[in-house]
Amino acid sequence: MLAVTKSIAMLGLEGYVVDVEVDISNGLPGLEIVGLPGASVKESKERVRAAIKNSGFVFPLGRITVNLAPADRRKVGPVFDLPIAVGLLAASGQLANDNYRKYVFFGELSLDGSLRGVTGILPSVVAARDNTTSEGVIVPTENRDEAALVEECKVYPLSNLRQLTGFLNGTENLPRHRVDINSLVGQMSLEPSENMADVYGQFRVKRALEVAAAGGHNVIMIGPPGSGKTMMARRLSHIIPAMSFAEALEVTKIYSIAGLVKSEMPLVINRPFRSPHHNVTKSGMVGGGSIAKPGEISLSHYGTLFMDEFPEFTRDTLESLRQPMEDGRVCISRVNGSIEYPARMMLVAAMNPCPCGYQGDVSRECTCTPAQVARYKSRVSGPLLDRIDIHIEVPRIKYEELREDKRGEGSQKIRKRVVKARLIQQERFAGTGINSNAAMGNKEIRLHCCLEGKAAALIKKAFDKLCLSARAYSRVLKVARTIADLNGTEKITENDIAEAVQYRSIDRSFK
């Protein structure tokens, strides 16, 4: 007898329907799984066998063939345990009807028949909604809140195989599970936990970070140890506006694939802040592995990727940032195809001016030779530096600033200005798929970065004097556009250009 159940397999963030075909025929008893199953799928035969027996059902005798169609795509993960078990029960006549055909199944089985949670449930349910005509999805109880984020899809959480058969046979009533999305969205606008007012002095640096937050610009901070680079970087994410629900869903899909979503909080409500150690590998940064999971760049999507001790990262790791910074996505190539993950992140890099950290410091003498300094700075390539919009020097904090408690504005006040500038950009780019000035292309720059006469003359002078590349020129215009938005002006003025140009002045020290 033949039975067909449905599930979803993931390729990056994209899911496709898998028909789990179970056939029981005469022959020597045995269970074989075909259709390019991965190692964890092959192992499912033993889990399914024990789960069926320990749930009080009869494991069918005969030659059992399980085909995972389409057969030309590799299937990985234990998510197919449940659809295989349901197929076996249906094919052996242990289900009272064919209601199982109405649902899409997800879940790993324990040996006692209970259901365990699986990773990637949110993008899987989205794929089930978009690619099937099912009446709902069956998920483990552990994944119920995450699955219910897809409001258009009916979610039925179950804890074990016995409960599932009761639901399919009509002997057990199971209500559709819902989650209070409004409550989750309300938590996105909570007060910032880390305040920019905690940072003494550094008013010029705080202004640069405000501009970066308002336009989604990449930043590199260069200064001696103890000047507050890390402290300010950690507070930067608290002056960026909260994510929209659509953005939070997209980030949650990435975290779900990576297995980082917690059952008690199914939605990633805060903008990501990732701070990988400088010994992270290229695959750890970009993503990879046999299943090609997202790396630190994609885990920073719509958030901040903070890279402290920037030159200490390997050259391969640093150069791997170039494509995501330009395109806002990561492409991972494997034998069985290419996988894309979104990576619209804001890079915040921090570094010392030299190996000892005290070049240019008036209170400490630098012990590095010119060759050591040149070698240290050469670890950050010109093309990578060119893609960073804002370069800012972070000086040592003066004693007077510490003594007089000169802390400046708090994060909440700065955030209000940033939100206002972001709303201007949201209106400007409505319907284009662009969410910030930093994401503008050449077409948008020509359309929205109109210069006054004096402003045009100033940027020409800066272009010649600083030997800016065409890319750096575009970055200056984008930053100037953001400064104008913060000032509430439609046209970019000479002062806006002057401030934007000063954020490129460090270029010369790397040449």
Q: Are residues 22 and 95 in the same domain?
A: yes
pLDDT at res. 182: 86
Length of the chain: 511
pLDDT at res. 282: 94
Q: Are residues 219 and 246 in the same domain?
A: yes
Give a yes or no: residue 434 inside a domain.
no
**CATH number of the domain residue 456 falls in:** 1.10.8
* Vertex 139: Cα angle to 133 and 143 (nearest 5): 125
Taking the C-alpha atoms of residue 218 and residue 436, their distance in angstroms, rounded to an integer, is: 12
What does 390-450 look like in DSSP terms, one character per residue?
A: EEEE-PPPPHHHHHTT-----HHHHHHHHHHHHHHHHHHTTTTT--SGGG--HHHHHHH--
Q: Are residues 110 and 254 in the same domain?
A: no
Question: Which candidate, 237, 232, 241, 240, places its Cα nearest to that of 206?
Answer: 232
> Is residue 262 helix, strand or coil?
strand
pLDDT at res. 290: 73
pLDDT tens, position by position, for the chain (511 residues)? 899 999 999 998 999 999 999 999 998 899 999 998 998 899 999 999 999 999 999 999 999 999 999 999 889 999 999 999 999 999 999 999 999 999 999 999 999 999 999 999 999 999 999 999 999 999 999 999 999 999 999 999 999 999 999 999 998 888 999 999 888 887 776 566 788 988 888 899 999 999 999 999 999 999 999 889 999 999 998 899 989 999 999 999 999 999 999 888 999 999 999 999 999 999 999 998 777 899 999 999 999 999 999 999 999 999 999 999 999 999 988 766 788 999 999 999 999 999 999 998 878 889 999 999 999 999 999 899 999 999 999 998 877 777 766 667 889 999 999 999 999 999 999 989 898 999 999 999 999 998 878 999 999 998 888 888 899 999 999 999 999 999 999 999 999 999 999 998 776 555 5
Q: Are residues 344 and 383 in the same domain?
A: yes
Residue 271 is classified by DSSP as: P
Residue at a domain's end among 428, 458, 491: 428
Q: Are residues 160 and 278 in the same domain?
A: no
Residue at a domain's end among 140, 169, 198: 169
Q: Are residues 449 and 422 in the same domain?
A: no
Write the single-letter amino acid at 39: A
Residue at a domain's end among 169, 204, 220: 169
pLDDT at res. 407: 65
What is the residue range of 421's domain?
187-428
How many separate domains does the chain show?
3
Tell me the HSE value of 335 on the side-chain side, using a 13 A CA sphere: 5
Q: Are residues 159 and 242 in the same domain?
A: no
Write the single-letter amino acid at 125: V
Q: Are residues 161 and 272 in the same domain?
A: no
pTM of the model: 0.92
Other beta carbons within 10 Å of 170: 10
**CATH number of the domain residue 125 falls in:** 3.30.230.10
Q: Are residues 409 and 490 in the same domain?
A: no
Give a yes or no: residue 125 inside a domain.
yes
pLDDT at res. 465: 86
Give a yes or no: residue 384 inside a domain.
yes
Give a yes or no: residue 177 inside a domain.
no
pLDDT at res. 509: 57
